[in-house]
Amino acid sequence: MEALPLATAVIVGGPVLALGGVTLLFLKNYINDQKRRSTSLTLPPEVPGLPVIGNLLQLKEKKPHKTFAKWAETYGPVFSIRTGANTMVVLNSNDVAKEAMVTRYSSLSTRKLSNALKILTSDKSIVAMCDYNEYYKTIKRHILTSTLGSNAQKRHHVHRDIMINNITQQFHTLVELHPSEAVNFRNVFQSELFGLSLKQAIGKDVESIYVEELGAVLSRKEIFEILVIDPMEGAIEVDWRDFFPYLKWIPNKGFEKRIQQMYSHREAVMKALIKEHMKRIASGEEINCYLDYLVSEKNTLSEQQILMLLWEAIIESSDTTAVVTEWAMYELSRNPEKQNRLYQDIQNICGYDKITEEKLCHLPYLSAVFHETLRRHSPVPIVPLRYAHEDAQLGGYHIPAGSEIAINIYGCNMDKKIWDSPEEWNPERFLDGKGDLMELHKTMAFGGGKRVCAGALQAMLISCVTIARLVQDFKWRLKDGEEENVDTLGLTNTKLNPLLAMMEPRN
């Protein structure tokens, strides 16, 4: 091989290595088959696919949660697929999903990240994507103590009140100036939510910032795109080498360039934000925020870890809460009778007073609206992948070590055996008198077990108060033609097109 010209070596060596990879794949399958024979349990049903590539072509639309739910109707709630060289076990049942997240957690606690996510998360440096270990326990404790836990949420109460008042005031202004025009819900809500995330993370909303590495002053909108929009889009970028790890030596320059640019731009903006924060501290300004807390822990965290954890607090506060709130307002706008019921409930409890967080526990229908939206429009349709680092059992099946585990939250919440008419948005299904109406995990939208979402409480507070205030202040209806506008995009279940609604101020 060394005597051949480089081009010839690549032409000859590529197929040779690929053949070697396929041989290893068959060897791996043989070993797994021998392990399975040693147990009385069977493997999950397998969805038929093609040689080598498996089921990849059947997943090309980038909405695997819907495809998985359809397959569950044929193959049952637990089945396996092939994604190139990988075996993925898909769970579409509440019971089996809870078994994976709680009972069998010790065997299934390791994250399996795509190449895009490995880069964007600095190889599992953030709470949501790292493995369950001492580092995870430490950084989750940090964000709960300083930002997202119940005591921290009480400290940030004032920021949320200001945000809600700003949102309602902007909508009142838009309706007053343009009473016959539809209002873009996302433009107002997402911007204010981003401002809240910045206040909690760095102690201050930011209108613009000079970024030295980029040689430019970036507007608030540009900061939002770099810190939130671009990484969310990058997270679903497909690198074909994810499916054929034995060919990872082959460059994928287009993919690498796109993801690396997202990474470097985000790094540059985050460093600029941290630098400005340090200048304010040096000038004697007192700021109580997540960055202050992280800096106080610098003996146990590297600069890169501090940067990543700070970024995580910004992006996670800015995205999933916006997704569920927008879908709730869409559903209320297209269901006037349910909107009226919610309004009457709020009036009965609050009268002419504005809704506050303290009143949430007295509004069961509001809680039902929130939970039903999480069920029907789960912000994260599939839990970030895990893999079995040892042989395990799930749903009565044998799960070989090395199998990827996909928990399809969408499929669980569309299960006709659990939910009547699951395609319908019906808050009344959560008013059956069973359980605590403010319980956060009925639909598994926030995960469960040891990896339950740290931001669950904040998401509920922000979303529920926003929904209630907007229904208190306005009658909502969809702009003509909006009712069927339900396509989604992205890693989260974001509405493809922003909600456009007609709003009428209430007396």
Q: Which residues neighbour 64 within 8 Å (Cβ) at sequence distance 6 or greater?
A: 382, 406
What whole-number distance in Å separates Cα of residue 87 and Cα of residue 132? 22
Would you say residue 124 lies in a domain?
no
How far is the CA of 244 from the CAs of 24, 53, 129, 239, 491, in angstroms?
12, 9, 22, 10, 22
Taking residues 168-189, what's their average pLDDT? 96
Of all helices (H) and strands (E), which one includes residue 489? Answer: strand 488-489
Q: Is the pLDDT of residue 32 over 60?
A: no
Taking residues 305-311, what's their average pLDDT? 96
Q: Is the pLDDT of residue 163 over 60?
A: yes
Amino acid letter for position 131: D
Flag whether 412 is marked binding. no
Looking at residue 31, its pLDDT comes to 56
Q: Where are the alpha helices (DSSP H) in 299-392?
A: 303-318, 320-334, 336-350, 364-376
Concatenated DSSP letters of 13-72 = HHHHHHHHHHHHHHHHHHHHHHHHHTSSPBPPPB---BTTTBTGGGGTTS-HHHHHHHHH
Q: What percentage of the chain reaches a pLDDT higher than 90? A: 74
Q: Is the pLDDT of residue 328 over 60?
A: yes
Of all helices (H) and strands (E), which one includes residue 111? Answer: strand 110-111
Query: Integer distance in angstroms from the first to the last C-alpha of the chain?
Result: 83
pLDDT tens for each residue of 411-445: 999 999 889 999 999 999 998 755 454 454 568 88
Amino acid letter for position 26: F
pLDDT tens for each residue of 259-275: 999 999 999 999 999 99
Would you say residue 391 lies in a domain?
yes
Provide the pairing of β-strand 474-478 with 500-505.
Answer: antiparallel
Looking at residue 92, its pLDDT comes to 95
Phi, psi of 367 (to 5 degrees): -60, -40
User: Of the candidates 182, 166, 183, 229, which has an alpha carbon nearest to the alpha carbon of residue 494?
Assistant: 229
What whole-number distance in Å separates Cα of residue 127 and Cα of residue 145? 14
Would you say residue 67 lies in a domain?
no
Looking at residue 29, its pLDDT comes to 58
Taking residues 294-302, what's their average pLDDT? 91
Q: Is the pLDDT of residue 367 over 60?
A: yes
Q: What percentage of the chain reaches a pLDDT higher than 70? A: 90
CATH code assigned at 162:
1.10.630.10
Looking at residue 392, its pLDDT comes to 94
- Residue pointed to by tokens 């019906």: 426
Inter-residue contact 478 to 333 (CB < 8 Å): yes
Would you say residue 369 lies in a domain?
yes
What whole-number distance in Å separates Cα of residue 118 and Cα of residue 241? 13
Taking residues 194-203, what's their average pLDDT? 95
Would you say residue 113 lies in a domain?
no
Q: Is the pLDDT of residue 34 over 70?
A: no
What domain count does the chain have? Answer: 1
Full domain range(s) for residue 263: 134-505
pLDDT band at 291 (very low <50, low <70, confident <90, very high): very high
Q: What angle, 0 to 180 degrees and rounded to 10, lies between the N-to-C axes of helices 456-473 and 364-376?
A: 110
Q: Is the pLDDT of residue 23 over 70?
A: no
- Residue pointed to by tokens 């102690």: 203
Would you say residue 311 lies in a domain?
yes
Question: Exposed e or buried b for every residue in 336-355, given b needs 16+ CB within 10 A?
Answer: eebbebbbebbeebbeeebb
Q: Is the pLDDT of residue 504 over 70?
A: yes
Would you say residue 25 lies in a domain?
no
Looking at residue 499, its pLDDT comes to 95
What whole-number distance in Å separates Cα of residue 459 and Cα of residue 432? 23
What whole-number distance in Å separates Cα of residue 371 and Cα of residue 367? 6
Would you say residue 412 lies in a domain?
yes
Query: Half-sphere exposure of residue 491, counting CA atoms within 13 Å on the CB side?
Result: 21
Q: Which residues neighbour 264 within 8 Å (Cβ) at sequence distance 6 or greater?
A: 213
Neighbouring-strand partners of residue 78: 91
Looking at residue 318, its pLDDT comes to 83
Q: Is the pLDDT of residue 339 over 90?
A: yes
